[in-house]
Amino acid sequence: MVENAAALLAERKQMFDNAINFKHNKRTPHAANFFTWKYYDTEFTAKEAIFDYDINEKVQRQFIERYGFDAYVDLGNRNPMRVTSAYGGGWHYIDEENDTVLIDDHSLLLRDEYQEFMANPQAFYWTKAFKRSCKEGLTMGELENAVQELMTNGAWAAKMDNICHDEYGALTYSNGFAMTPFENMFNVLRGMRELALDVRKCPEILKECLDFLWENECLPMMKAGLKTDPSKCIGGINTGFLAHGILNYDQFGELYWPYFKQLVDMAAEADRVILIFLEATLERLADYFQEIPKGRIIIQIEQDDILSLRKAIPNVALMGGMSTDTLGYGTPEQCVEQAKRMINEMGDGFVLSQNKMMSYKNDAKRENLQAVCDFVREYEC
């Protein structure tokens, strides 16, 4: 815990608002893109922490107190395995030999079921999608237990957000969430492999389903997200850019961008910021982003060279810059030098963060991360 957490939270919120709007900060804000690596930085295994909320809270508190980031993308709720285990489903699992969390690609909707899904999505979810996601012979008692676990998980996640804000004066990523329909198909209904095939095998019915999802699921989700409070978050609305990696330039323009642009326009009208959590690269699609006004989105990048991406989309605030190669295999001096270079060369419109989801033991060394965090807090830019 810190003294004057409310004042520190307000100060940090102003720093991120300045960065998003390309206003100068006395120092660069620092965001933690850390997930299961936090467990490997303690005496606990991933399984112990994920399945025990008390241990998980202890891990999150240790991480916040040890490194003192200004904002956190994850507070231990990334892998709600207690919920999925209760109904015998889910595709996240722990490789206990390597103490690593993994996920399998999967499909809940088959290619010949598009019309059935659009005719009655609620019936489809209950009679087919849910059945495919849980074990056979699920009893009513097990289902009731799974619902209770879901409620417990939600309460714990809210508790962790409050701890982050009220005890440590740090920001979380967002309260609101939005999803483009292509991301829905990629992450929920069709999966990576099958959706990539659909783009080529059945583009017409795919586009029809994207329009259906936009009107019936994505648009209501965005409207609900706009009603949340963004005052303790980096951005008002969080969205994932994961599925764009399987699309070429023209396919992105047809199947992805029109829906995302509507999200941006809706957020702008409500004076809200969209935070994009990015996987894969984006620079090849930079032309689409030229029309986005400054101050409307901020992107947590992954595989792109951040200096090159800044030149390609100079109107968009970026988060990233710290390489896992350096954090995991370099020296503290090399890590500080990289952080200093990123801060100096990126200038305004920049948040220092890591260039990937920090999920594996070798993604960082404690002494390297501590050196960077100590440096960023004191370095005036």
Residue 73 CA to residue 77 CA, distance in Å, equals: 10
Parent domain of 200: 5-378
pTM of the model: 0.94
Q: Is the pLDDT of residue 129 over 80?
A: yes
- What pLDDT is stored for residue 93 in this prediction? 82
Q: Say which residues have a Cβ less than 8 Å from residue 328's Cβ, sequence separation at least 6.
A: 362, 363, 364, 365, 368
Other residues' Cβ atoms within 10 Å of the Cβ of residue 371: 20
Burial class (CB in 10 A: 0-12, 13-18, 19+), 92: middle
> Residue 149: which of 161, 171, 134, 163 has the closest Cα?
134
User: What is the domain-level CATH number for residue 289?
Assistant: 3.20.20.210
279, 245 contact by CB (below 8 A):
yes
- What pLDDT is stored for residue 103 in this prediction? 82
Q: What angle do CA 107, 112, 118 make, to 5 degrees?
A: 85
Write down the residue that tokens 């990126």 correspond to.
346
Mean pLDDT of the chain: 95
Tens-place pLDDT, residues 93-118: 888 888 888 888 889 999 999 999 99
Q: How many separate domains does the chain show? A: 1
Write down the residue that tokens 């933690």 correspond to.
32
Tens-place pLDDT, residues 214-270: 999 999 999 999 999 999 999 889 999 999 999 999 999 999 999 999 999 999 999
- What pLDDT is stored for residue 1 in this prediction? 78
Describe the strand order of the beta sheet including 171-172 as a list of residue ranges.
31-32, 71-72, 171-172
30 pairs with which residues across the strands? 352
- What pLDDT is stored for residue 316 in this prediction? 97
The residue ranges of DSSP E strands in the chain, in sequence order, are 31-32, 71-72, 92-95, 100-103, 171-172, 176-177, 237-241, 274-278, 297-300, 317-322, 350-354
* Residue 91 pLDDT grade (very low, low, confident, very high; cuts 50, 70, 90): confident
* Residue 137 pLDDT grade (very low, low, confident, very high; cuts 50, 70, 90): confident
Residue 71 CA to residue 353 CA, distance in Å, equals: 10
Q: Is the pLDDT of residue 92 over 90?
A: no
